[in-house]
Amino acid sequence: MSKVVKMENGNETTISDMLGSIERYNPDHLPILQEYVQEQARDNTYDLEANLAVLKLYQFNPQLLNLDITYTILLKCLTNLPHTDFVLAKYLLLPLQMQDETVKDIIILADILEKCDFELFWERADKTPERFKQISGFFDSIRKYVSHVIGITYQTIDKDLLKRLLGRIDDKTLDLWLKKNGWKVSGKIVSIATQDVTIKTKNITEKIEFDNLGAIMAQCL
């Protein structure tokens, strides 16, 4: 259900209805939408359409630009990988935003994640931990993406490597992710999936009527 907000005229509407009308481009609603972005970060919710609307309003009203909100939107987009939300948001950034050092760093992190260089991601993320504290559930969202990539890439994986890819987690945290993903551990090896599960053969039977076969043979003579 879309969030209900109160307009300046006292009437109530929903974020969804606001974005579906001409009011989407009314800069007077920017404070409401920016507060909604912060609420998403705090409550671990996500509304891509509303966040993109904020970036679009910045394009139309660069004097109202809020870089902290920009950071939050970009980081929230990363929590929805492997979807292309971050690319959509990046295309809406102003030159001023693109020149900002924090924005540059976040774009680098996005590139690293898209290249699946997860150990490098965690190494860089550890250098600025305060950047992610405002985004509730951020690291678990990244681990969910890492798990997705591992699930479609590996049959088995070394346990210590898996822990590093998931952010140098301890054994207790690893057990939680093993249960969450249905992975099995045996000694130092984690079974991601069996060959029987990932590859299934399919028998294809084609029936050719005798009359059709006769026509084909006649063409070969």
DSSP-based three-state secondary structure for 10: coil
pLDDT at 13: 81
pLDDT at 199 over 90: no
Alpha carbon distance 181, 213 (integer Å): 50
Residues 131, 160 share a domain:
no
For 55, half-sphere exposure in the C-beta direction (CA atoms, 13 angstrom radius) is 26
Q: CB-based burial of residue 78 (10 Å sphere; 0-12 exposed, 13-18 middle, 19+ buried)?
A: buried
Q: How many beta carbons lie within 10 A of that of residue 85, not counting itself?
A: 20
The widest CA-to-CA distance across the chain, in whole angstroms, is: 85
Select from 137, 163, 181 the last residue of a domain: 137
Give yes or no: residues 131 and 169 share one domain.
Answer: no
Query: Is residue 93 over pLDDT 90?
Result: yes
Asked, for residue 114, whether it belongs to a domain, the answer is yes
pLDDT for residue 190 is more than 80: yes
Kindly state whether residue 217 falls inside one of the protein's structural domains.
Answer: no
Shared domain for 50 and 95, answered yes or no, is yes
Cα–Cα distances in angstroms (integers) from residue 33 to residues 19, 50, 179, in the given order? 10, 7, 37
pLDDT given for residue 52 in this prediction: 97
- Domain of 84, CATH number, reads 1.25.40.250
Which structural domain range is residue 82 located in?
1-137
Confidence tier at 4 by pLDDT (50, 70, 90): low
Coil vs helix vs strand at 110: helix
- Assign residue 19 a region (left: φ > 0; alpha: ψ between -120 and 50; beta: otherwise): alpha
pLDDT attached to residue 62: 97
The structure's pTM equals 0.83
Q: Is residue 208 part of a domain?
A: no
User: In this structure, is residue 214 part of a structural domain?
Assistant: no
pLDDT tens figures, 119-156 = 999 999 999 999 999 999 999 999 999 999 999 999 99
Distance CA 163, CA 86 (A): 26
Looking at residue 107, its pLDDT comes to 98
- State whether 63 and 117 are in the same domain: yes
Query: Do residue 32 and residue 122 come from a single domain?
Result: yes
User: Is the pLDDT score of 48 beyond 60?
Assistant: yes
Give mean pLDDT, residues 214-219.
Answer: 55
Low-confidence winner among 28-37, 64-73, 85-94, 194-203 (lowest mean pLDDT):
194-203
Query: Number of structural domains, the chain?
Result: 2
Residues 75 and 111 in one domain: yes
